[in-house]
Amino acid sequence: MSLASLAMYVSPPPIERATQLFWEALGKRLRGYGLDAPAALDGDISYDEAWLRPDLLIGQTCGYPYVRHLRDKVQLVASPVYGLPGCDGPLKCSFIIVNANSPVASVEELRGSRAAINEPGSNSGYNLFRHFIAPHAVEGHFFSSVIETGGHRASIDAVASGEADVAAIDCVTFGNTLRFDPERVAGVRIFAETVKGPGLPFITSADTPAKDLVILRRALDETISDPVLADVCDTLSLRGISLLGDADYEMLAELDREAARHGYPAIA
């Protein structure tokens, strides 16, 4: 049996439930096309461990680890189109957030503040954030301290509680949280938006045959378009898919290089 893992957007609880229902419909459709799709998503394997499994039928990764580590090791299936603020087709930004009571009105006023990141491998919480700050850094530094929270929701909590002053939050995560867990974002405000880049692509194993890749794309498109799944896809804010290629994701690697050219290879 092949592996299916969709673990990038699984909170708050309505999102987790809708993701399970979405997979039930997608998996059934894939089996109807003759693919060996599991009945349920694998909830035990970590999201990043699934990426390089040779039996991966479908997974979802972040664009930054894709350009850094996964090229030629996985195949791009499609990039989701979300209907949330900050999204533009398959492109999305990060929201730079500060405490709701913060008077900060310019980037310069953030100098010497405390930053929160989810983890250094993240495009939305790190790569886009670093690119946003890089032109303002001096000798590789801008913040007084940087904490790693382990996740976007934890970064929101850190800024809301005053543990950190600023963070970059994936606009899809922010939108999902605003819709289904509004109290969590009540203590923060959006200060700015980063540049937009391609969002989290659906991927499959490098060993997946070309004919199966065609079926995966067709089944994704049909499932999202299915009127029976309208409520599920509305919960997920999932509007469609876009067939982006490796060259489209190269811009995320270029943001990395651009920050380095500013002398800011790491958030500090």
Whether 203 and 74 have beta carbons less than 8 Å apart is answered as yes
Q: Is the pTM of this model over 0.85?
A: yes
Q: What is the mean pLDDT of residues 111-120?
A: 98
What mean pLDDT comes out for the span 229-248?
98
For CA atoms 17, 202, 243, 127, give the dihedral sign.
Answer: positive
Taking residues 146-151, what's their average pLDDT?
Answer: 97
- Phi–psi pair at 218, nearest 5 degrees: -65, -45
Q: What are the structural domains, with CATH classification, of the chain?
A: 3-84+199-250 (3.40.190.180), 91-197+254-261 (3.40.190.10)
Structure tokens, 70: 């996964």
Tokens (6 digits) for 262: 């500013």
- DSSP H or E stretch at residue 267: none
pLDDT number for residue 232: 98
Q: Would the pLDDT of 90 be above 80?
A: yes
At residue 46, the pLDDT reads 87
168 vs 28, 96, 172, 176, 259, CA distance in Å?
37, 4, 12, 15, 16
Mean pLDDT for 86-103 is 98
For the residues 215-242, what does the mean pLDDT come to?
A: 98
Which residues are registered as beta bridge partners of 198?
A: 91
What's the rounded mean pLDDT across residues 243-268? 98
Residue with tokens 């100098």: 111
Residue at token pair 């999201």: 47
Please tell me which residue, 187 or 44, carries the higher pLDDT value: 187
Cα–Cα dist 86/123, whole Å: 15
Cβ-count burial of 179 within 10 angstroms (0-12 exposed, 13-18 middle, 19+ buried)?
Answer: middle
Q: Show the CA angle centred on residue 162, arms to residues 171 and 181, nearest 5°.
A: 40
Calculate the average pLDDT of the chain: 97
* C-alpha separations of 182 from 124, 162, 175, 187, 238 in Å: 20, 18, 9, 10, 20
**Per residue in 54-83, pLDDT tens?**
999 999 999 999 999 999 999 999 999 999
Give, for 37, the enclosing helix (H) or strand (E): none
Q: For residue 98, how many other CB atoms are within 10 A of its CB?
A: 22
Cβ–Cβ under 8 Å, residues 224 and 239:
yes
pLDDT digits 0-9 by tens, 12-55: 999 999 999 999 999 999 999 999 999 999 988 888 899 999 99
> How confident is the model at residue 47, as a pLDDT?
82
Does position 1 have pLDDT exceeding 80, yes or no?
no
Please count the residues of the chain. Answer: 268
How far separated are the first and last CA of the chain, in Å rounded?
Answer: 44
What percent of the chain clears pLDDT 90, i.e. is strictly above it?
97
In whole angstroms, how far apart are CA 14 and each of 10, 19, 41, 98, 234? 8, 9, 16, 26, 11
**pLDDT above 80: residue 184:** yes
What is the structure's pLDDT at 77? Answer: 98
How far is Cα 11 from Cα 156, in angstroms, rounded to an integer? Answer: 14
